[in-house]
Amino acid sequence: MKTRSFSQSLLFAVTLCCSTTVALAGSAASLKAGKAELKSAGPLAFGPDGILFVGDTVGAAIFALDTNDRTPGRGTNRSFEIKGINQKIAALLGTEADQILIHDVVVNPLSRNVYLSLSRGRGPEAVPVIMKAEASGKLTELSLENIRYSKVDLPDAPDPSAKDRRGQSRRLESITDLKYVNGNVIVAGLSNEEFSSTLRSIPFPFQAANKGASIEIFHGSHGRFETNAPVRTFVPFDINNKPYILAAYTCTPLVTIPVSELKPGNKVKGTTIAELGNRNRPLDMVVYRKGGKDYILMANSSRGVMKLPAANLDKYQPITTQTEKEGVPYETIASLKGVQQLDKLDEANALLLMDDGGSLDLRSVPLP
Partner 1 sequence: MEGGSFIVEGWRPGPDAPASGWQSIFSVYAGDNDVPPMLGTYTVENSRLVFRPRFEPSPSIRLRAVFRPPSGSPVEAVFEPKHAKAAPSTRVEHVYPSTDLLPANQLKFYIHFSAPMSRGEAWQRIKLLDGQGVPVELPFLEIEQELWDRDYRRLTVLFDPGRIKRGLYSLEEAGPALEENRRYTLVIDSGWRDARGVPLTGEYRKAFSVGPALRSAVEPARWKIHAPPPESTDALRVQFDRPMDAALSTRLLTVQRNGVPVLGTPSLAEMETEWRFVPSQPWTEGEYTIVVDTFLEDLAGNRVGRPFDVDVFEQVTKRVEKSSVSLPFRIRR
Restricted to residues 250-279, the positions that interact with partner 1 (CB under 8 A) are 250-252, 267, 269, 275-279
324 binds partner 1, rule: CB under 8 A: yes
**200 touches partner 1 (CB under 8 A):** no
Q: Please state the φ and ψ torsions of residue 147, each to the nearest 5 degrees.
A: -135, 145
**Secondary structure of residue 17 in the 3-state scheme:** helix
Residue 363: how many other CB atoms lie within 10 Å:
18
- The answer to whether residue 239 forms part of the interface with partner 1 (CB under 8 A) is no
**Binding to partner 1 by residue 317, rule CB under 8 A?**
no
Give yes or no for residue 145 binding partner 1 (CB under 8 A): no
Q: How far is CA 106 from the centre of its chain?
A: 7
- Mapped onto helix, strand or coil, the DSSP state of residue 33 is strand
C-beta of residue 170 within 8 angstroms of C-beta of residue 162? no
Residues in the interface with partner 1 (CB under 8 A) total 73
Among 16, 25, 33, 101, binds partner 1 (CB under 8 A): 101
* Binds partner 1 (CB under 8 A): choice among 49, 109, 110, 127: 127
Binding of partner 1 by 87 (CB under 8 A): yes
Positions 327 through 356 that interact with partner 1 (CB under 8 A): none
Q: CB of residue 157 vs partner 1: minimum separation in angstroms?
A: 12
DSSP-derived letter for residue 79 is -
Q: Does 214 bind partner 1 (CB under 8 A)?
A: no
**Is position 320 an interface residue for partner 1 (rule: CB under 8 A)?**
no
| By CB under 8 A, residue 300 contacts partner 1 | no
Which one of 4-12, 72-80, 202-210, 320-328 is the stretch in contact with partner 1 (CB under 8 A)? Answer: 320-328
Contact region with partner 1 (CB under 8 A), list: 20-28, 166-174, 235-243, 256-264 = 166-174
Least Å from the CB of residue 357 to partner 1: 15
Among 72, 75, 124, 357, binds partner 1 (CB under 8 A): 124
Residue ranges in 1-60 that form contacts with partner 1 under rule CB under 8 A: 42, 57-58
Length of the chain: 368
DSSP for 190-245, please give it.
EESSS--EEEEEEESS--SS----EEEEEEEETTEEE-PPPP-EEEEEEETTEEEE
Residue 253 one-letter amino acid: P
Report the nearest approach of partner 1 to the CB of residue 224 (Å).
6
Q: Report the alpha-carbon distance of residue 252 to residue 229 in Å, rounded.
A: 9
Q: Are strands 114-120 and 127-133 parallel, antiparallel or unpaired?
A: antiparallel
List, as one string, the DSSP characters of 325-339: S-BS--EEETT--SE
